[in-house]
Amino acid sequence: MISGFIAVIALRQNNLQMIDLRNKVVQADKNNGDIETALRNLREFVYAHMNTNLSSGNNSIKPPIQLKYRYDRLIAAEKQRVNDANAKIYTDAQAYCEKAIPEGLSGRGRVPCIQDYVSSHGIKQQPIPDGLYKFDFVSPAWSPDLAGVSLLVALVSLVLFIVSYAIERWVSAELKE
């Protein structure tokens, strides 16, 4: 019973440690800190301890680790890159169309030229796959940590108790005959 109690406490401690490490990953992502180290620490802990599952399968409570802030920063940077490039293309389009169509009042005839130039030379935003910023770690069914060893000792003790009780009952029944 003591070993079973220790196993329950150790399993709970494993889960609490995993939650703390997950929160450190989220905080590092939010602060643009060292995400790689935080992810490595979380991954190593989850892979080595029971009751630390972050899986996104059918039975999961939370989604996998998502680097939302890093992903949002990359999307914003890509959008800014495209806006900067397209602003230069618009300026180039105006210069090109002024040379191609020199006459015209207020550049009226140039508007279709500028639109064609921008549409043919414009840069489109490249999609950033969000799967590269989602992580899913699965804990082992059994691990040789305090929780795993305590659970193993509790199960072996239970089996030995049941076997010894069954043998005692069988022997006492045989002696009565």
pLDDT digit string, tens, across residues 88-121:
898 888 888 888 887 765 566 788 888 888 888 8
Domain ranges for the chain: 1-64+136-177, 68-133
Best CA proximity match to 154, nearest among 5, 15, 50: 5
Burial of 99 (0-12, 13-18, 19+ CB in 10 A): exposed
Reported pTM: 0.76
pLDDT tens digits, residue range 145-159?
999 999 999 999 999
Tell me which H or E stretch contains 92: helix 68-100
- Look-up: residue for tokens 């210069």? 95
**Are 142 and 46 in contact, with CB atoms under 8 Å apart?**
no
Reading the block at residue 86, the tokens are: 């397209």
Q: Is the dihedral of CA 68, 65, 61, 23 positive or negative?
A: negative
